[in-house]
Amino acid sequence: MTKPLKTQLAALGLVASLASVSVAAFDADFSAAGPAARAAIETAKTQDSVSVAATSVRPLGAESVVRDQTSVVPVDLNTKTVKCSAADYQAPMLKILVPALAELTVLNHRNTREGAPCVAAGRCMPGGAGPDDILKAGEGREKIAVRVVLKKTAELDGEVCRVTLVETVSTKVRGVPFFHERRQEVAERSPADCR
């Protein structure tokens, strides 16, 4: 990583390279973690929020994992935070507003005119998942495990190496998988940096 990108990431408070952790206790689909990460997840059941991460590097061709972190955060589930909304989409999507994402993520996961960052589960349509599927167990506050993966990609575009951050958020709420992804170009570098 060249100094300018490293400096940018440091300014955002990122640790150089973190790999995945497991949150099996929360029935989420995450990769394996050591005993310390599992113990932190167990502790999270009694706290408002906690974050765990493991250190290692996973180069993925022209992309690499910058950070892979799982955090347990509270989320309010009610008719204002669980909804079908077409904000920034072509069709209404089932989404949940998760204010804690603002602290967990580097990129902006807030859709236009929404009160907080969100995750989405797909299109709202007859026979598909909708707010009632999430709220049928009642409204209230729950703790959810949220995985945030930040990757750096480097792509050759003519005589320029374009560096982009891609951030993916995933979680499960009451058995329904939710997801959100954002990308942001952060630097143009020498073509040699893409090889």
The pLDDT assigned to 86 comes to 86
One-letter-per-residue 3-state SS of 132-152: HHHHCCCCEEEEEEEEEEEEE
Domain of residue 149: give its range.
Answer: 3-194
One-letter-per-residue 3-state SS of 156-170: EECCEEEEEEEEEEE
- Whole-number Å distance between alpha carbons of 115 and 128: 25
Number of domains in the chain: 1
- Local structure of residue 46 (DSSP, 8 states): T
**Counting beta carbons within 10 angstroms of the beta carbon of residue 98, is it exposed (0 to 12), middle (13 to 18) or buried (19 or more)?**
buried
The SS3 of residue 67 is: strand
| pLDDT tens per residue across all 195 residues of the chain | 333 333 433 444 433 332 222 232 233 333 333 444 444 444 544 455 444 444 333 333 378 999 999 999 999 999 999 999 988 888 899 999 999 999 999 999 998 888 899 999 989 887 778 899 899 999 999 999 999 999 999 998 888 999 999 999 999 999 999 999 999 999 999 888 886
The pLDDT assigned to 47 comes to 52
194 closest CA partner among 153, 165, 137: 153
DSSP letters of 83-126? EEE-TTSSS-EEEEE-TTHHHH-SS--BPTT-SSBEEEEEE--T
169 closest CA partner among 81, 103, 93, 85: 103
Regarding pTM above 0.85, the answer is no
- Whole-number Å distance between alpha carbons of 64 and 69: 14
With contact defined as beta carbons under 8 Å apart, do 53 and 15 qualify? yes
The pLDDT assigned to 18 comes to 28
